[in-house]
Structure 1
């Protein structure tokens, strides 16, 4: 919920976050069965893996960058039990773990200090046809800002991010319906592609 496109689609006016559990995370090339889900949609994101703990109410950009180890592309599959039109509102989003169902991760690569992830364009294709695109800056102006926002939010709850944690910055476009019998892929210029097969 860190991009305007997703906030508008879901009827919320502020960011939200959920928790990634081990059994939600799949490697690129994985298959997913529609019968395991209710009303799934998919979105492309930039993700981070932390190499150091990151916590505290005053986390800033230098601290966030220092904590990062690797960056990767991801396809997040969202799902919800609350509605079929995806106008779920903030309270239901919080109750539903930000609607997170699965995350398909690409190869994780060491982050280059010279990369401008805000300018990185992600292109989503379904069966080889481009259907959505968006730049990293769609997420709070810079995907690093999502990491800072999350660290500060968690600090208010008395917890923080730990080395090894995966953090998804947020969708760079409005989510797309997930359909059986398709292959979804996200690509960008500097990061390895991610593919999901839907059965």
Structure 2
């Protein structure tokens, strides 16, 4: 990893896009994680704070896209955590996308490579229906290392009402998410066979973070992967994500 490459990704984070043509083959996934954390450090230097983490490549066709069990992390910025019902301007995001996800809150610090899913479950405060807001910043080759450096398209998150205590694990395993726009159903996706076990994903996240001297800290938010989504050509409107047995999240996306 070199500083000039971090500069490219950082400038893309500020502007909403960057040309990746010259980056092909130059970064491993680990290089990408180091670069991503360097970008996070620059946000912190500007007075921003980290709200939590995302676990990447846990669902659908992208599972194992970087190799069996490879689940890279991304970070969430506090200033881009919105409550359900918020209005967000589409121009704030370049080539915006939206995904229905579940968001968990850590009730205590989770660190290291030896966490089991039971320990993870006992350490979480709540779960909530959520939207991940995405920004497709990369122009050119979509190398794994570059995608990780670019924070896996993460831009923000909208969080619904917390559910606490956590529901039975079987509820999460069989839940389905329905995405609607202005009252019209766009897609319904069930968890079964589609997404990794959420507690396993969080354990993997803690293990991956530990390799870079990081951890899931008490109070961190963690999003664990996409259900129903709209990734291209996102239009203005009122979007709702309803999770069976867990509630609903809403966001209004506007052109202003």
TM-score between the two structures when normalised by the length of structure 2: 0.70
SS of residue matched to 1:63: helix
Identify the residue that residue 58 of structure 2 maps to in structure 1: 3
- Displacement of 1:192: 2.3
Deviation (angstroms), 1:36? 1.2
Relative distance call for 1:40 and 1:127 in structure 2 (3 A) is: same
Counterpart position of 1:131: 186
Stretch moving more, 129-138 or 69-78? 129-138
Is the alpha carbon distance of 1:83 and 1:133 closer, same or farther for their aligned partners in structure 2, counting shifts above 3 Å? farther
Assess, with a 3 A threshold, how the Cα gap between structure 1 residues 34 and 113 changes in structure 2: closer, same or farther: closer
Aligned residue pairs total 194
Matched, 1:74 2:140: no
Distance 1:187 1:41 in 2: 17
Structure-2 residue corresponding to 1:168: 223
Could you tell me which residue of structure 2 aligns to residue 55 of structure 1?
111
* Kept in 1: contact 2:177–2:228 (CA 8 A): no
The SS at the match of 2:180 is strand
| Greater share of helix | 2
Please name the residue that 1:27 is paired with: 83
- Which residue of structure 2 aligns with residue 195 of structure 1? 250
State the SS of the aligned residue for 2:203: helix
Q: Deviations over 1:38-78 (max 9, x none)?
A: 11111010110011111111011111011111000110011
5+ residue gaps, structure 1: none
How do residues 179-194 of structure 1 correspond to structure 2 at under 5 angstroms?
179-194=234-249
Q: Does the 8 Å contact 1:80/1:96 carry over to 2?
A: no
Deviations 1:76-132 (CA, angstroms, capped at 9, x unpaired): 011122138xx7342222111111111000011213352421111111111111112
Determine the structure 2 residue equivalent to 1:39: 95
Query: Matched residues in 2 for 1:188 and 1:105: separation?
Result: 12
**C-alpha spacing 1:4/1:136, structure 2 compared with 1 (3 Å):** closer
Alpha-carbon distance in structure 2 between the residues aligned to 1:189 and 1:54: 28
What is the TM-score with the length of structure 1 in the denominator? 0.88
The question of 1:96 aligning with 2:147 is answered: no
The 3-state SS of whatever aligns with 1:109 is coil
Indicate the RMSD between aligned Cα atoms, in angstroms: 2.0
